[in-house]
Structure 1
Amino acid sequence: MHLACQLDDILPGTGVCALIEGRQVAIFRPTAEEQLFAIGNQDPFYQANVLSRGLIGEHEGEFWVASPLKKQRFRLCDGLCLDNPAVSVPSYPVALRGREVWIGL
Structure 2
Amino acid sequence: MKDWITVCSTEDLVPNMGICAKIEEQQVAIFYCGRSSKLYALSNLDPFSGVNVISRGIIGSLDDQPCVASPLYKQHFHLETGVCLEEPQVQLTTYPVRLSDNAIQVQLPDKIAA
TM-score by length of 1: 0.94
Percent identity over paired residues: 43
Partner secondary structure for residue 55 of structure 2:
helix
Partner of 1:78, secondary structure, is coil
State the AA in 2 paired with 1:86.
Answer: Q
Within 5 Å, give how 1:15-94 maps onto structure 2. 15-31=18-34, 34-94=37-97
Runs of 4+ in 1 over 3 A off after TM superposition: none
1:102 to 105, 109, 112: 105
Is the strand fraction higher in 1 or 2? Answer: 1
Q: 1:8 to 1:61 in 2, by over 3 A?
A: farther
1:24 aligned counterpart, secondary structure? strand
Q: Which runs of 5+ in 1 are unaligned?
A: none
Determine the C-alpha separation between the residues in 2 that align with 1:56 and 1:85: 18
- Length-normalised TM-score, structure 2: 0.87
Shift of 1:42: 0.4
- Structure with bigger gyration radius: 2
Deviation at 1:60, TM superposition (A): 4.2
Q: Which amino acid aligns with 1:40?
A: S
Q: 1:11 aligns with which of 1, 11, 14?
A: 14
AA matched with 1:29:
Y
**Partner AA of 1:67 in structure 2:** S
* Count of residues paired in the alignment: 105
Structure 1 70/52 Cα, relative in aligned 2: closer, same or farther at 3 Å? Answer: same
Q: CA RMSD in A?
A: 1.2
Residue identity opposite 2:47 in structure 1:
P
Structure 1 residue 19, shift from structure 2 partner: 0.3
